[in-house]
């Protein structure tokens, strides 16, 4: 079970490993002149970079990246240029980052800083800040002093309350760098992690292959670095990190539960208490320890609830995530693509037994223009998904593939979309072969037929005796012996099919019919043990996803509109067989190998 879709990801591990390890190439000191870092007095650690001091901060040029464009963009990719600013205040170096992209769980910052005379990266203080990451600790610290924030009391804050941009601030105490004097230059390098896995922008731009000699050298614009105003909150930071360690343990319990072996029928067939309750409980533990992760956990809850069929609860979670993080693409995708598409594809039942086609009404709704709004591009994809699923259900495979194939390319991690695109392609190929067979059968005109008189009108079935002879004999036997007279319609699912039947008093062995379950086919339902009884299924849409559960025995040649109007409570008033082949005994052999008895009435 994939409870967390692999869309955003953690900080790029390979590049950052090189970033931490560093090297000694070009061990001489940098030849570029040092850059002056302005001092500020009005900074508030809130991640917003809104104070006037940030306008006058030192701007460090960062590398640009080619990233996937946001939904609705005319191009597939865009150039992303993070803005990195540096200030000093209160005995600390402040790094501010502004990135023009929607936020994701993978966003963050890695910083390496040390005295300007550094020769090897291993001598630097290395700090990693991943404020929204679910699968890794919020902070990672490494330095000659130690590997916790008790030694390097760094702090940070992030702002994700805007769409199309996010920003963060990181405050690193200068005392942690062990500068030899109060005006000594320091060396700084950093990497900004985007919402896309393994895509980072660095300062300097070639950080992945550079050595400390290439790092920018910074000096205080005021002539000396400022002094701290008070003691660092080391105890509070240690407690916060301990809570984050507990949060990671709860997250691992959540992951372990998602990967636990499922019982018969899989996870989704298990009782809700066996899966949903423990999973949600683990997420509640995570949120209690890290309340700032609530928007991202709401997205995970929504994904989880959606997969367990609790669609309205999932929508509420995604709406909660978007309210807190307006640029939360994953939550918007859930609401506008998945939920919208599935709602449109769930054709309503006919109104009061009227024979208006539910399919036509639903397809018209799916074809309507997408509603305007900040996520209109996703809404358009949701409309296309709904239309594609409806067309697939109705057996219009070529038209369904036109809608679904582009979505499968845009969302390759979404199994629902990719699976239905593949099914539409496979079913379309099968339909071409089926048409060829039917043309040959129509030319021979020798297949048996059944006429079923229903409370809505007559149905004429042509039976595939050459492909499923026992099933055909069974249906003819039931018709000629009165086993279908008065048969009630048990269920009718719009844009899928109608089921009717009763236990005839015997079972048949399943046959290997070559015929696919396309729209208009007539099948016998196969039991879990592989046997076939008296349950008859008429596909008013395609039943491609029911392969393995159906034995296709015939097709509708007349009465398609009647079949589409049948509802639970209707009945087959009478049945008769026509065009039976001379010399054929239409009495099936039961699963026990004996001639079938007269059907039970």
Judge whether residue 213 has pLDDT over 60: yes
Token pair listed for 576: 């008769």
CA dihedral 291, 296, 297, 298 (to 10 degrees): 110
Q: Which residues of 552-580 are buried (b: 16+ CB within 10 A; e: fewer)?
A: bbbbbeebeebbbbbbeebbbebbebeeb
Residue 389 has pLDDT above 70, yes or no: yes
| pLDDT tens for each residue of 125-135 | 999 999 999 99
pLDDT band at 272 (very low <50, low <70, confident <90, very high): low
* Tens-digit pLDDT profile for residues 226-271: 999 777 678 899 999 999 999 999 999 999 888 765 555 455 455 5
109 DSSP β-pair partners: 129, 192
Q: Looking at the predicted structure, is the pLDDT value of residue 3 above 60?
A: no
* Mean per-residue pLDDT, 82-96: 97
pLDDT for 246:
97
Do residues 154 and 177 lie in contact, with contact meaning Cβ atoms separated by under 8 Å?
no
Lowest-confidence region among 56-60, 143-147, 423-427: 143-147
Residue 22 pLDDT > 80:
no
Cβ-contact 237, 209 below 8 angstroms: no
Given pLDDT bands bounded at 50, 70 and 90, which one contains residue 21?
Answer: very low
- Round the average pLDDT of the chain to a whole number and report it: 88
393-412 pLDDT, tens digit per residue, is 888 999 999 999 999 999 99
Q: Would you tell me how many other CB atoms lie within 10 Å of the CB of residue 23?
A: 16
Q: What is the pLDDT of residues 44-61, one digit of tens each?
A: 999 999 999 999 999 999
Give the pLDDT mean for 580-590.
Answer: 93
Q: Which of 97-111, 490-504, 506-520 is most confident? A: 97-111
pLDDT for position 346: 82
Q: What is the pLDDT of residue 8?
A: 37
Which residue has better confidence, 188 or 6?
188
CB atoms within 10 A of CB 245: 11
* Mean of pLDDT values over 305-322: 95
Phi/psi of residue 566, nearest 5 degrees? -65, 145
Contact (CB, 8 A) for 134 and 251: yes
Does the pLDDT value for residue 82 go beyond 90? yes
The three-class DSSP label of residue 202 is strand
């Amino acid at each position: 079970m994939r409870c967390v879709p692999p869309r955003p990801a953690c900080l790029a591990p390979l590049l950052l490993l090189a970033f931490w390890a560093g090297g000694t190439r070009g061990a001489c000191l940098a030849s570029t002149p040092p850059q002056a870092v302005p001092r500020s007095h009005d900074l508030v650690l809130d991640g917003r970079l809104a104070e006037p001091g940030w306008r006058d901060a030192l701007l460090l040029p960062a590398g640009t990246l080619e990233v996937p464009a946001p939904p609705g963009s005319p191009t597939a990719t865009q150039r992303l240029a993070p803005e990195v600013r540096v200030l000093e205040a209160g005995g600390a170096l402040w790094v501010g980052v502004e990135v023009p992209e929607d936020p994701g769980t993978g966003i963050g910052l890695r910083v390496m800083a040390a005295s300007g005379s550094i020769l090897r990266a291993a001598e630097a203080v290395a700090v990693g800040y991943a404020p929204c990451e679910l699968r890794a600790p919020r902070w990672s610290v490494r330095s000659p002093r130690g590997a916790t924030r008790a030694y390097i009391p760094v702090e940070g804050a992030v702002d994700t309350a805007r769409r199309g941009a996010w920003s963060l601030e990181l405050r690193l105490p200068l005392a942690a760098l062990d500068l030899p004097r109060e005006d000594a230059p320091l060396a700084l390098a950093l990497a900004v992690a985007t919402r896309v896995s393994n895509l980072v922008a660095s300062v300097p731009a070639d950080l992945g292959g550079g050595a400390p000699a290439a790092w920018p050298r910074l000096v205080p614009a005021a002539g000396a670095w400022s002094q701290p105003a008070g003691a660092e909150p080391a105890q509070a930071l240690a407690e916060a990190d301990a809570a984050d360690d507990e949060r990671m343990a709860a997250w691992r319990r959540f992951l372990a539960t998602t990967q636990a072996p499922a019982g018969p029928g899989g996870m989704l067939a298990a009782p809700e208490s066996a899966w949903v309750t423990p999973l949600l409980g683990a997420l509640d533990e995570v949120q209690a320890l890290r309340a700032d992760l609530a928007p991202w956990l709401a997205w995970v809850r929504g994904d989880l609830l959606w997969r367990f069929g609790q669609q309205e609860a999932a929508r509420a979670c995604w709406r909660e995530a978007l309210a807190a993080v307006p640029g939360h693409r994953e939550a918007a995708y859930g609401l506008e693509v998945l939920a919208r598409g599935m709602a449109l594809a769930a054709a309503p039942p006919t109104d009061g037994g009227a024979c208006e086609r539910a399919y036509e009404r639903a397809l018209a709704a799916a074809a309507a223009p997408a509603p305007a709004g900040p996520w209109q591009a996703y809404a358009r994809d949701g409309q296309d998904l709904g239309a594609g699923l409806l067309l697939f259900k109705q057996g219009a495979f070529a038209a369904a593939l036109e809608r679904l194939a582009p979505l499968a390319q845009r969302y390759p991690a979404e199994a629902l979309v990719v699976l239905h695109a593949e099914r539409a392609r496979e079913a379309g190929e099968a339909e071409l072969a089926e048409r060829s067979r039917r043309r040959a059968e129509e030319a021979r005109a020798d297949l048996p037929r059944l006429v079923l008189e229903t409370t809505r009108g007559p149905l004429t079935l042509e039976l595939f005796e050459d492909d499923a002879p026992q099933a055909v004999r069974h249906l003819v036997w039931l018709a000629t012996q009165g086993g279908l007279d008065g048969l009630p319609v048990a269920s009718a699912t719009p844009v899928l099919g109608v089921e009717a039947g009763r236990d005839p008093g015997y079972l048949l062995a399943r046959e290997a019919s070559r015929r696919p379950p396309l729209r208009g086919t007539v099948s016998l339902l196969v039991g879990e043990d592989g046997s076939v009884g008296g349950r008859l299924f008429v596909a008013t849409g395609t039943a491609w996803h029911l392969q393995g559960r159906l034995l296709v025995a015939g097709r509708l040649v007349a009465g398609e509109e009647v079949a589409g109007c049948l509802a639970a409570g209707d009945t087959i008033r009478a049945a008769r067989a026509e065009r039976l082949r001379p010399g054929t005994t239409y009495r099936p052999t039961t699963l026990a190998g004996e001639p079938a008895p007269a059907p039970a009435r």
